A and B are shown apart, each in its own frame.
Chain A
Amino acid sequence: MMRPRSARPARRRTTPARAAALAACCVVPCAAQDDASAVREPTLLEREAQHYVVEHIPPPPGAVLEVGGLDWLGDGRLVVSTRRGQVWIVSDVLADDPSAARFTLFAEGLHEGLGLSVIPGADGAADRIVVLQRGELTELVDEDGDGAADTYLTLSDAWGVSGNYHEFAFGLPRDDAGRFYVSLNTGFLNPEWWHGKSIAPYRGWLLRIDPDTGRATPVASGLRSPCGLGFDARGELFVTDNQGDWMPACPIFHVREGAFFGHPASLAWTPEYQQNRAHPSDMSPPDRERAPAAVWLPYKWSRSAGNLAPDTTNGRFGPFAEQIFVAELTNGELLRVQMESVQGQLQGAAFRFRQRIGSLARVLFAEDGTLIGGMTNRGWGGLPPADGLVRVRWTGRPAMEMHTVHLLQDGFEITFTDAVADDCVIEPGDVTLTQYDYDLWWEYGSPERNTRAVDVLGTQLSEDRRRLTVTTAGLSPAMVARLVLRGVRAEDGSPLLHDEFAYTINQLPDGPWTDEHVAKVADPPPPRTSADEGWLRLTYHDALDAWTQRGWELVDAEVDPRAPTTFMVRPGNGAVVNTAGRDATDFTSRFPMGDGRYHVEFMLPEGGRAGVFVQGRYGVHLADDAGDGSVQPVHGALMALADGTPARPPAFAAYQGAGTWHVLTVDFRAPRFDAEGRKIADAVLERVRMDDVLLHEDVTLTAPSAGAPDEDARHEAALGPLVIRAGDSPVALRTLRFRPTQNPRSDDGWVAIYNGDDLRGWRLSPDVEDEEQERWEPGGDVLIGGGTRSHLFSPRGDYRDFEVRARVSINDGGNSGLYLRTAYGPGWPKGYEAQINASMADPQKTGSLYGLAPVKVELVPPGTWFDYHVVCRDEDGGTRITIAVNGVVVTDHLDTERRHAAGHIALQQHHDGSRVRFTDLRVRVLE
């Protein structure tokens, strides 16, 4: 990197007031006046500041300008709307001294104001100020001429607002025909709050609003959190979005009628979905042609994009006429975008432009070449200042920049703002070129994927030394190209101010045409609504209920400093400890388990030893032997097998010592058997980890461990209990969990009994207290129970031998149940009830056969989906009911009294405040 030959002072005058204002703005170092810069390389920020100064405009006393909208009145005053529902008129905002700006409150009491537009008055009429509230497009009129609006006219409210906090409305560009454009955020609702949802009309859409009729026309859909819109200099409309679900990074979309940009929630308001009363899945890729983003802004430059504005100042902002400037909120910087049409589609390059401005949400150019920025980040976060007005001005000193990037079939033609110095040679080695794309999925954002280096074959400067042609071994469409160019400097010695761009290649100039996208549909990751989904918590709430044992207690334990081979225990619920010493039995789960991940947290005292036996057969040593060099460490070793296979030491010594809690996780695949019960595949320990350190991988177990609780090879089976054997020493356990491997479920023979649309045929219990109240909402795939007590009875009432399954979620404090063989009638249904209860005080938790076989451990936390599977059939001696949670049978009960012979399936809504969700509710009748 070259140091500039001279750090010329900026051309502008520096008035004392301006100097003071600059000094007050700590984020604006004035590099030209910084003595230190004479002896060291200036930072990029300092170099940027030599070309573009950032000046913060002091807000009116006591006011906080959380800027959401900006526009100019014809007389040169600025109008500013804020998220606090105020509209300010600012005069002298372009005066040399930024503190000369004068603010007048024009309107207040509005419901946010994230967009504003001024309709110029024609033929001497006054300008009209239109502001976008959260739920309304409103014209503000000052009828009595006192300088403050007294009349607020509702121009349109033709979109939905559900009350969700995230349903912002953004705007407000206006086209030549006088119509406004508004983009509507999706909502973030529990429980899957990271999925944008469209529960009110046109959330996730861009609307065009005719202010004369108030009518809103849906223009484009597939948006998530589209914070900013803007026309470019040619009148093309663009909208930015914010990375998240179905939005791998922050894009700039070119808006065309009917375009769909990829986020599925908005599709709910298309005619197809409306006619079918369907809800778009927020987990499956939308089956709809997507319009590609014209530009993907790299994550490192943009984490929250605001609006955009073309430079229409005829060179007063520097040499970037008609290029687009984008507000970036989180990083607090200004980005520059240059586009071109390739195969009829706009695409192009993004550059950094000016850092450390503040939480920029809105930008607007003034005719004199000043860029006005509006800042806000309340609740979103971003670079300080968090709010206020700022202006960015060109010092008049040109920067050496890559002005324009033109895509070639096999490279780029880069035009610089100035000629490259005569003695500066640019070689292929000065160019670093990579390409990458993104995953499109419901997860939050996407890393850059499939990153690959592109070989640069040639670099050719034009005769005037202003254009560089970079030739490569080949570029791929439907990928972004990141190009870094080193060593370039202008005649005056200035190096490139920004040496990098990211060009979104949707199409190559000469084709072939590709239907692929930069954001490619990726295999959706497994659904995860919380860290607990899919797990069974085996020691939660009632820590001992899921275990067969004697001599273990729930206590708080720590190593006794006076007798470090023992624990000091006191009342508490921090650990389960074999306090009975040698009289304590093995700690054995009463649920048989198979394939999946076992999670055991443990602590040993000095010299402590224990064993963890998956299925009671396959053992891992736990031993406090880290401190004794004389002993071969056995901690984490797999025990020797009963068939003579020797013990297997761990790959790493991960044990940290006595008194420290450790986490052992075992990924296990049970042995497999043929129809005759012959073993056809051995058990496999796929991975054994200690505190996430991999100790063993893919170890086949040809037999049970020697000395295991059940070491007889003839007993090997698909299922078995988890056993912790303490031996002679104390051991403390906590957070024992199991997550069964999820196998694809067959729908063979299963009949859906809830159709996803309505409750045709289902009947509410006859004694519901208030007929009007809606208790059971068919919410698309999910049936939601709410309201006061009621029971919902299946259409069929003759179920006898059958199984029923569903995905279920119950809220905190909620209670529900799945009734079998139940009679239709008032009160609590007469039938078997598979209980659904996470955290309500009732000790019978999910998995209980109510009143007959309680499960007191809280296997699944509230608000977490789980698989429920109940089988009910008569057999010799009684009626057998088995209840499985996440694939693990936790109740297997024989009702010898055969209490209920046949009947309906019924769903319980236990009490007001309870909220239960069912989906994939299916029945299979057993022969």
Chain B
Amino acid sequence: MSDLPHAVRRAALALLLALPCTRVCALAPSPVDEEAPSGAAAFALHCARCHGATGDGVGTELLDRPARSFLDGGFSYGNTPDAIFRTLSHGIPGTPMPGFELLPEDVRRALAEHVIALGPPRVEVTPEETEMLVGARAVLARGMLPSIAGGAPEHPRGLLLGTPDGFSFEYRADDLRLLGVRQGAFVRRSDWTGRGGTPLQPLGRVVALLHDGTPPATFTHVAADGTSTPLACKLRATRLAGPSATLTGALVGPSDDFGLVHESMSAARHPFAAGFTRAFDLPAPTSGSLRVDLGVAAGGETLLATSDPSGGWTWLVLRAPAGEIRCLGVRAHEGAARLVPGPHGPCVELSSEPGSGPRRRIDVVTLLPGRWQPGDEHALLSESSR
């Protein structure tokens, strides 16, 4: 006790001399002392009676259940500073552990740190340890995704694909939908810290946001009578193959299974502008048509729309209301693919074609040129035709 500041020592003496009690008395919202709070002093004052002066759980208080020993580091509700701060703020109901909500916050923070320090050395996860890097091969990270943009929800089941060219593709995995594309470093596994369960921290800058991060179903079946049915895409597999990766989902309608869809992601190899390519391998529709949403909201200004395939590509260039330019290119490997307006924005439409094979393959390119000026049309199309 002799190393305590005088005021604290006196108060501690007052409490220690008191007869047993199960509630420690709350203090006023503002501390009388203006010094930085000492966790050790506060521990002696508020905790030692039950938890022992050394934190070994052997205090002077008679309890019907022993107080926790802090020396081994176990805690009822987590051992992170925040978790312990919360526990000592609110107490543990059903136990003699009271809440110290009225202690000043800095004292409670100091106490949490002190109590942690009583235990075995903490193995802190360093930020470097938690960063996943992408080398020569694509890398997948599964985990909770934070909101990709204001107003977009978190996704407890998320999937992040990093490719060697520095793109990361962010999907919700419960119903496979691309939310956005990032460029830069890959991801920090912030769920490796604390108690876990926190969202991943994607590190790249968002370069393309699909429908503001809240995309509708990617795939829609349109029946011959025009009825359209959004299809769920249930994740079935992920495959890493060198620098690229393929995601496989099962297309499921309210009453029908439509088969598997494979989607492979890569950087777009187009000299006009940077961007990314989504290569789809889809079940051919047996009736009506299948639409693939391109991730761009309806509205905005159409700068270019080609109707005849140029070098196999059909192009749609849009200026979104906010000004950014998207060059959307579509190429079908078998059968025909048309760019059509859908209820949420432009789509690729694959119609049923009698006599065609069971699968269809299309490439969808999204280029992000930053600006669009006269003559760009030629640059875009001539490069496409090569």
Q: Is A846 an interface residue (CB 8 A)?
A: no
* In the complex, number of A-B residue pairs with CB atoms less than 8 Å apart: 224
Contact bitstring A519-536, B, C-beta under 8 A = 1, else 0 = 000000100101110000
- Checking B66, B91, B239 against A150 with a beta-carbon cut-off of 8 angstroms, the contacting residue is B239
In the complex, the answer to whether A691 meets B15 with C-beta atoms within 8 Å is: yes
CA of A304 to CA of B74, assembled, Å: 9
CA of A734 to CA of B26, assembled, Å: 11
Q: Which of B66, B74, B77 gathers most chain A CB within 10 Å?
A: B74
Contact bitstring A499-523, B, C-beta under 8 A = 1, else 0 = 0000000000000000000000000
B residues less than 8 Å from A694 (CB atoms)? 19
CA of A386 to CA of B73, assembled, Å: 10
- Known contacts A380-B78, A574-B28; decide if A135 and B157 are in contact (CB<8 Å): yes
Q: Is A558 an interface residue (CB 8 A)?
A: yes
- Known contacts A151-B237, A194-B92, A660-B14; decide if A530 and B25 are in contact (CB<8 Å): no
Q: Is B378 an interface residue (CB 8 A)?
A: no
CA of A663 to CA of B21, assembled, Å: 13
| Interface residue ranges, B against A (CB under 8 Å) | 10-11, 13-15, 17-21, 23, 25-32, 64-66, 72-80, 83, 86, 90-95, 98-102, 119-121, 123, 125, 129, 132, 139-144, 154, 156-157, 173-174, 189, 191-192, 194-199, 234-241
- Which residue of chain B has its CB nearest to the CB of A665? B25
In the complex, the answer to whether A164 meets B197 with C-beta atoms within 8 Å is: yes
CA of A331 to CA of B69, assembled, Å: 10
In the complex, the answer to whether B74 meets A382 with C-beta atoms within 8 Å is: yes
- 11 residue pairs of the A-B complex, CB under 8 angstroms, read A136-B142, A331-B74, A377-B73, A378-B194, A380-B195, A444-B76, A444-B93, A525-B93, A531-B101, A556-B30, A692-B21
Q: Is A171 an interface residue (CB 8 A)?
A: no
- Which residue of chain B has its CB nearest to the CB of A439? B94
In the complex, the answer to whether B28 meets A734 with C-beta atoms within 8 Å is: yes
- Known contacts A194-B77, A540-B29; decide if A660 and B143 are in contact (CB<8 Å): no
CA of A299 to CA of B65, assembled, Å: 9
How many Å from the CB of A606 to the closest CB on chain B?
Answer: 14
- Checking B32, B98, B129, B240 against A531 with a beta-carbon cut-off of 8 angstroms, the contacting residue is B98
In the complex, the answer to whether A691 meets B18 with C-beta atoms within 8 Å is: yes
- 10 nearest A-B residue pairs (beta carbon): A443-B94, A165-B197, A379-B195, A692-B21, A531-B99, A330-B74, A381-B79, A734-B28, A163-B156, A656-B14
Contact bitstring A116-139, B, C-beta under 8 A = 1, else 0 = 000000000000000001111000
CA of A734 to CA of B28, assembled, Å: 6
B residues less than 8 Å from A574 (CB atoms)? 28, 30-32
- Checking A379, A528, A540 against B79 with a beta-carbon cut-off of 8 angstroms, the contacting residue is A379
In the complex, the answer to whether A735 meets B27 with C-beta atoms within 8 Å is: yes
CA of A443 to CA of B76, assembled, Å: 13
- Checking A143, A163, A445, A656 against B13 with a beta-carbon cut-off of 8 angstroms, the contacting residue is A656
In the complex, the answer to whether A153 meets B66 with C-beta atoms within 8 Å is: no
CA of A540 to CA of B101, assembled, Å: 13
- Checking B14, B75, B189 against A381 with a beta-carbon cut-off of 8 angstroms, the contacting residue is B75
In the complex, the answer to whether B32 meets A556 with C-beta atoms within 8 Å is: yes
How many Å from the CB of A442 to the closest CB on chain B?
Answer: 8
CA of A734 to CA of B30, assembled, Å: 10
Q: Identify which of A105-113, A268-276, A397-405, A636-644 touches chain B.
A: A105-113
Contact bitstring A325-338, B, C-beta under 8 A = 1, else 0 = 00001111000000
In the complex, the answer to whether A660 meets B10 with C-beta atoms within 8 Å is: yes
Q: Is A856 an interface residue (CB 8 A)?
A: no
In the complex, the answer to whether B74 meets A383 with C-beta atoms within 8 Å is: yes
In the complex, the answer to whether B74 meets A381 with C-beta atoms within 8 Å is: yes
A sample of 9 more A-B contacts (CB under 8 A), given A83-B196, A379-B194, A654-B18, is A83-B192, A108-B132, A135-B157, A167-B156, A188-B77, A379-B196, A660-B10, A692-B20, A692-B23
B residues less than 8 Å from A383 (CB atoms)? 72-74, 120
In the complex, the answer to whether B11 meets A573 with C-beta atoms within 8 Å is: no
In the complex, the answer to whether B14 meets A380 with C-beta atoms within 8 Å is: no
In the complex, the answer to whether A152 meets B25 with C-beta atoms within 8 Å is: no
CA of A787 to CA of B79, assembled, Å: 33
In the complex, the answer to whether B19 meets A693 with C-beta atoms within 8 Å is: yes
B residues less than 8 Å from A750 (CB atoms)? none
A residues less than 8 Å from B174 (CB atoms)? 135, 157
Contact bitstring A365-393, B, C-beta under 8 A = 1, else 0 = 00000000000011111111011000000
- Known contacts A299-B65, A558-B32, A691-B15; decide if A161 and B21 are in contact (CB<8 Å): no
In the complex, the answer to whether A157 meets B157 with C-beta atoms within 8 Å is: yes
In the complex, the answer to whether B195 meets A332 with C-beta atoms within 8 Å is: no
In the complex, the answer to whether A109 meets B101 with C-beta atoms within 8 Å is: no
CA of A659 to CA of B32, assembled, Å: 11
A residues less than 8 Å from B19 (CB atoms)? 652, 692-694
- Checking B79, B94, B101 against A444 with a beta-carbon cut-off of 8 angstroms, the contacting residue is B94
In the complex, the answer to whether B157 meets A151 with C-beta atoms within 8 Å is: no
- Which residue of chain A has its CB nearest to the CB of B187? A109
How many Å from the CB of A422 to the closest CB on chain B?
Answer: 40
In the complex, the answer to whether B156 meets A135 with C-beta atoms within 8 Å is: yes
CA of A692 to CA of B15, assembled, Å: 9
CA of A464 to CA of B134, assembled, Å: 68
How many Å from the CB of A919 to the closest CB on chain B?
Answer: 19
B residues less than 8 Å from A662 (CB atoms)? 14
- Which residue of chain A has its CB nearest to the CB of B235? A154
- Known contacts A379-B83, A386-B120; decide if A152 and B140 are in contact (CB<8 Å): yes
A residues less than 8 Å from B235 (CB atoms)? 136, 154, 157
CA of A143 to CA of B242, assembled, Å: 12
- Checking B173, B195, B236, B238 against A378 with a beta-carbon cut-off of 8 angstroms, the contacting residue is B195
B residues less than 8 Å from A379 (CB atoms)? 78-80, 83, 194-196
- Which residue of chain B has its CB nearest to the CB of A529? B90
- Checking A85, A384, A444 against B142 with a beta-carbon cut-off of 8 angstroms, the contacting residue is A85
Q: Which of A112, A245, A657 gathers most chain B CB within 10 Å?
A: A112
A residues less than 8 Å from B32 (CB atoms)? 556, 558, 574, 661
- Which residue of chain A has its CB nearest to the CB of B14? A656
- Which residue of chain A has its CB nearest to the CB of B237? A153
Q: Is A84 an interface residue (CB 8 A)?
A: yes
- Which residue of chain A has its CB nearest to the CB of B92? A444
How many Å from the CB of A560 to the closest CB on chain B?
Answer: 15
Q: Is A354 an interface residue (CB 8 A)?
A: no
Q: Which of A329, A574, A575 gathers most chain B CB within 10 Å?
A: A574
CA of A213 to CA of B98, assembled, Å: 49
How many Å from the CB of A385 to the closest CB on chain B?
Answer: 9
Q: Is A162 an interface residue (CB 8 A)?
A: yes
CA of A637 to CA of B369, assembled, Å: 85
In the complex, the answer to whether A663 meets B13 with C-beta atoms within 8 Å is: no
In the complex, the answer to whether B73 meets A381 with C-beta atoms within 8 Å is: yes
Q: Is A5 an interface residue (CB 8 A)?
A: no
Q: Is A244 an interface residue (CB 8 A)?
A: yes
B residues less than 8 Å from A151 (CB atoms)? 237-240
A residues less than 8 Å from B31 (CB atoms)? 574
How many Å from the CB of B239 to the closest CB on chain A?
Answer: 5
B residues less than 8 Å from A136 (CB atoms)? 142, 157, 173, 235
A residues less than 8 Å from B100 (CB atoms)? 531
Q: Is A889 an interface residue (CB 8 A)?
A: no
Q: Is A601 an interface residue (CB 8 A)?
A: yes
Q: Is A300 an interface residue (CB 8 A)?
A: yes
Q: Is A826 an interface residue (CB 8 A)?
A: no
- Which residue of chain A has its CB nearest to the CB of B91? A531
Kindly identify, within residues 153 to 175 of chain A, every residue whose CB is under 8 Å from any CB belonging to chain B. 153-154, 157, 161-168
- Known contacts A387-B123, A444-B94, A692-B18; decide if A378 and B196 are in contact (CB<8 Å): yes
Q: Is A869 an interface residue (CB 8 A)?
A: no
- Known contacts A447-B64, A530-B101, A734-B28; decide if A303 and B93 are in contact (CB<8 Å): no
Q: Is A434 an interface residue (CB 8 A)?
A: no
How many Å from the CB of A808 to the closest CB on chain B?
Answer: 19
How many Å from the CB of B103 to the closest CB on chain A?
Answer: 10
CA of A133 to CA of B173, assembled, Å: 13
In the complex, the answer to whether B78 meets A381 with C-beta atoms within 8 Å is: yes
A residues less than 8 Å from B93 (CB atoms)? 194, 442-444, 525, 528
A residues less than 8 Å from B21 (CB atoms)? 692-693
- Known contacts A83-B196, A150-B240; decide if A530 and B189 are in contact (CB<8 Å): no
